[in-house]
A and B are shown apart, each in its own frame.
Chain A
Amino acid sequence: MSDDTGDQRSRVSRRTFIATTGAAGIAGLAGCGGQSGGEGGGGSESESEGEGGSNPTETESSGGSMETESSESSGMNTALLNAEGSSTVYPISNTGSSYWNSNAPPSDGEYWGSNSESTVPGWSQLGEPDMLLADYFAQKFGFEPTEQRSSPPFPTTVGLSHSGTGCEAVTDGLVDIGNSSGPITAELSISEEEAQNTVVDNVVGRDGQPVVVSSDVIDAGVTELTGEQVRGIYQDEITNWSQIDGVDYDQEIYAIGRSEGSGTDTSFRLNMLGGADASMPGVDTRFGQNQQVAQAVSQNEGSIAYMALAFTSDTVVPVGIDFEGTLYEPDRDAEHTIFDSDYPLNRDLHMYTLIEEDNPDGGGYDAREAAFINMFLNEWGQTIFVQGNNYIPLPTSDLRSMKEQVSALATEDLVMP
């Protein structure tokens, strides 16, 4: 019950927050509207620079580093950006940091950009910029591109500790970004209002376990289940698919669970079955790993399971879940999706930044923080860093509102999802 109220509270606060930042975002957009053409021009300019012989580029870039120093004196802080916190957010944050520091050229194809062999996901959505990785994201916030690989406009590093430690470190100003898998209100026991006045909540992805079924169940017309039905299946009250209203499919249900007492098992019991120690007499088999679950679902008829989204396929299909009247659909663009933070099997993965006096406009970011966090907020970032680490990418609407939050500081138009 207390969780519900907590959810409610954060939901409301997020709406108000989006409402306020949304306005700023629109203003920012309006201001940047004229520059969007200029961005394209800048892109082609740097293209010609990049193509035109390697020697001039090198000399230019060595001069470039001096330029960066001079630009530092003119206000751009290029100090090391450090983050710390939760081991759950760490894979996302740290992969992001590694990519950033490598500052791969657009001809790389594997990590950034495109070549004859491969293209990174979401590349066309980013507008196929002819810039190095970190250069591209940094210049959107006013940094000078270094145009040299392994030399980003400013370096980043990520430390590993706990959610609570990360939240504390960011509020104390020890690090720039605090990674947390729980809301800061719970981690530091502070009120929602105090949290909003102290930090900006950047949600970069979600951790959760969508409910999946085998393809024959989908073919039989099951595309959504109610929370009550899922509970019934796992508590042995529903044992045949034909027992579900409107489904004419005489097939025993093969209910797959996760290792007894594991974190996944406990959170499923808590959020679906009504308590961390709720009984699960309906479970037919238990597996420890996502791969095993996916394999078992694909090769057994009538299967239902819960597992990381990254392992879904044509034969392992996520279904919509109806919780107390709200239908969460697997479709990314739906009103309520299984990628939402309200979806009971999900939790947000946060990267908190501190609201400081000396930030531009006294806001929640300095340019480095905004540039780094913005890297995660597009299809490329979500695919590589979030989905690549078996987490749930943000649905379009959340991605947009997060993007609007960071766009207040952008000197150029950000590509909206």
Chain B
Amino acid sequence: MKIKKIVVVVFLYLFNYNYSYSIEPEIFVQSTVNRASKILSENISKEKKMDELRLIAKETVDIRGIGFYTLGSVRKTLNDDQKKRYAILFEEYFLKSFSSRLAEYTNPEIDVQSKEILSENYTIVNSLLKGTAERPEVKIDWRIYTKNPENPLIRDLIIEGLSLARTQKEEFSSILNSNDNDINALFKTLEEFSKN
């Protein structure tokens, strides 16, 4: 009888556990945006802001996925060591670029407006960055990878219809094309960016 009770309790716990940790993409985006906004509105140094934004990005963005997507077909030609090196370099580059871009904004207000479920794995969350006296409002769509509903991840930002992941892919492709598809040239460029 006691074992049965324990089993029931464990089952209920697990059920509730699973249920409570499934995050709706739009709530995920709004909460991520709110966290970033809070940091950006704090009276702390730009470096401190960038550090905190990096932590948010590490938790909420599929950096590895974006990195390999950005490489395009070249990734198929890399050996394991090159893949490892690329993953490290890309993460450094991405976090610096991401936090540096965001740190320029002070207290951005983003409102999540709607969502469109594309498939089991992808939902697009539509949001609006409110305009200020100096810039017009901006439509931002978020491509959320929802394969694991407990841990949704950002895979792309589409600003006024323009995909950042795609832009980055074409940028990397241009660097590779100018260097006979030599991955070491890309490694060098990524290293230089992160160092500066």
Chains A and B belong together in one complex: no
Point out residues on A near B: beta carbons under 8 Å.
none
